[in-house]
Structure 1
Amino acid sequence: MACSGVAAEGGLERINPPHLAPPTGFSHAVRSAPGTLVFLAGQTALDGSGRIVGDGIVEQFERALANLLDVAAASGAGPSDLAKLTVFAVDVADYRLHAREIGRVWKRLVGSAFPAMAVIGATRLWDETALVEIEGIAVVR
């Protein structure tokens, strides 16, 4: 079934059917041309010595996203290759409260390409002081 609302970038098609609610900060679906899947493990705001850095959700989101992008780059994937991300947040209300700031971090680090995405509430994360963890799937061609 063809639908409008399809944008192609870097071999990934971001599909946003016009009859669904407009997506903000994500795509409803991402379809990939043939390529290599890269599964990106959950990243928190850990620094190089294994300590969580950042006092709030925005700072921790920025560090976790930067860590994820570093892992993606080491695997040959760039920001536009991100097809699916899951964000786990220990306080979804706080995440939503800071959504604009988080969006500005996203635009600065990734740009305007949005993967299929979900934000999931979690009671706690592996690193007890972590407020957010991001995992993903990229497609490298």
Structure 2
Amino acid sequence: MTTERIDPPALSPATGFSHAVVATGSRLVFLAGQTALDRDGAVLGDTLPEQFERALGNLLTALRAAGGTPADLARVTVYATDVAAYRAHAPELGRVWRCLAGRDYPAMAVVQVVRLWDEAATVELDGFAVLP
């Protein structure tokens, strides 16, 4: 797979995401929403950064099981129960992202939701990847 990340100069600078990702490959992987659940179904982490790290780790575990890598991610949507808290923790969340997924950012969006399926969850990530 090849990806081309496009950040037009006419748009605001992309920090921690890409404005567009052109992906070519032969296999699409659609990743279900992942929260901070452990294998027993319990939400781990008391803070947003702790839950984000676990949710991203879960998303990447599913991606790797399908044969992909973080660089194959074309799109990720983050659902947060408190966007103000997400923005306040953005530098720390960025460090978590870079540690787990690297610096090849997919196209991303953050959406505030009233609540998630698991009431204790504060963040959920889903997305899709393009694999060779």
Fold conserved between structures, TM > 0.5: yes
Task: Supply the AA of the counterpart residue of 1:57.
Answer: L
1:42 to 33, 37, 54: 33
State the Cα deviation string for residues 69-98 of structure 1 (Å, max 9, x = none): 000000011000000000000000000000
**Cα deviation, residue 18, structure 1:** 1.1
Larger-gyration structure (1/2):
1
> What corresponds to 2:76 in structure 1?
85
- Residue 125 (structure 2) aligns with: 134
Unaligned runs of 5+ in 1: 1-9
SS at structure 2 position matched to 1:72? helix
Q: Which residue of 1 aligns with 2:110?
A: 119
The answer as to 2:98 corresponding to 1:98 is no
Distance apart, 1:35 and its partner CA: 2.0
Equivalent-residue separation in structure 1 for 2:11 and 2:86 (angstroms): 23
Percent identity over paired residues: 58
4+ residue segments displaced more than 3 Å: none
Secondary structure of residue in 1 paired with 2:22: strand
Q: Secondary structure at the match of 2:52?
A: helix
TM-score (norm 1): 0.92
* Residues paired across the two proteins, number: 132
Distance 1:120 1:84 in 2: 14
Kindly provide the CA deviation profile for residues 11-50 of structure 1, in whole angstroms up to 9, marking residues without a partner as x.
Answer: 0111101111111110000001132110000000001110
Relative contact order, higher structure (CA 8 A, sep 6+): 2
TM-score for both structures, normalised by structure 2:
0.98
Structure 2 residues without counterparts, runs of 5 or longer: none
Q: Residues of 1 paired with 2:16 and 2:120: CA distance?
A: 26
Following TM superposition, by how much is the alpha carbon of 1:129 offset from its aligned partner in structure 2, in angstroms?
A: 0.4
1:57 and 1:38 map into 2 onto residues whose CA distance is: 26
CA distance in 1, matches of 2:93, 2:11: 24
SS in 2 for 1:86: strand
